[in-house]
Chains A and B, each alone.
Chain A
Amino acid sequence: GAGVSQSPRYKVAKRGQDVALRCDPISGHVSLFWYQQALGQGPEFLTYFQNEAQLDKSGLPSDRFFAERPEGSVSTLKIQRTQQEDSAVYLCASSLDLAGPSTDTQYFGPGTRLTVL
């Protein structure tokens, strides 16, 4: 079946612009995660949703970052007033998270590469 998809794949923004990044998880997956991956580094956790509830946003670097998942499926990560240090790949992952073995495996999307000029 279809995997996790993200759009756009590439985004170039001028410093100060707002951007919105979209994630379409695997259908039926309960949990959705956003990670930020700087060049040459491992992904770093930003926020976590269980269905439509945002249960952990401890990784969001500032109040310029906002995420939502209003219907428990598609999620959007919004960055306001972008800055150069926001340049990174933003990865979305989803997991089934039902009772049973291996349902917490996280499947990643291809990421959105954000470049802030």
Chain B
Amino acid sequence: GENVEQHPSTLSVQEGDSAVIKCTYSDSASNYFPWYKQELGKRPQLIIDIRSNVGEKKDQRIAVTLNKTAKHFSLHITETQPEDSAVYFCAASMEEYGNKLVFGAGTILRVKS
């Protein structure tokens, strides 16, 4: 089955700097890649997603890139703010499997002010 690896496990950046989190997946049939942000004790919240028919998607300070050939995708956060501090999870899914998500292990992002 699908396996998703996520790096780094923790990331500390200075406020205003950029943060990059990378994920790799194993099954080339995966075609949907969402990113979720989870604050302590809260529900995972979708922040951005990308499908396999595009290579990049941007929403204000957040962008995601996808390399289907290498089977990896990355989250980019620019101009980081203290409220960006949270755990970020990448995930992958294949439509024919009822869209169940296979998650990475998560990245703890700390933005220091």
Contact = CB atoms under 8 A, between A and B. Distances in A.
A101 B101 CA distance: 18
A105 B102 CA distance: 14
Contacts of B103: 42-44
Task: Please classify how large the interface on chain B is, using the bins under 10, 10 to 19, 20 to 34, 35 or more.
Answer: 20 to 34
A43 B99 contact: no
Contacts of B91: 42
B45 interface: yes
B43 interface: yes
Nearest to A40: B106
Interface string A52-77: 00011001000000000000000000
Nearest to B102: A45
Contact of A97 (B6, B42, B43, B99): B99
Interface string B79-94: 0000000000101000
Nearest to B36: A108
Task: Please classify how large the interface on chain A is, using the bins under 10, 10 to 19, 20 to 34, 35 or more.
Answer: 20 to 34
Interface string B38-73: 000011111001000000000000000000000000
A91 B98 contact: no
B73 to A, nearest CB: 15
Contacts of B106: 40-42
B44 A108 contact: yes
A110 B38 CA distance: 10
Which residue of B42, B46, B101 has the most chain A CB atoms within 10 A of its CB atom? B101
Which residue of B4, B6, B46 has the most chain A CB atoms within 10 A of its CB atom? B46
Considering the complex of A and B, which 8 residue pairs feature the smallest CB-CB distances, nearest first?
A42-B103, A108-B43, A48-B98, A45-B100, A110-B43, A108-B44, A104-B99, A42-B89
Given A102-B49, A106-B34, A106-B46, 12 more contacts: A31-B99, A41-B106, A42-B6, A42-B91, A42-B103, A43-B44, A50-B98, A55-B98, A56-B97, A59-B100, A95-B99, A105-B46
Interface of A: 4, 31, 33, 35, 40-45, 48, 50, 55-56, 59, 91, 95, 97, 102, 104-111
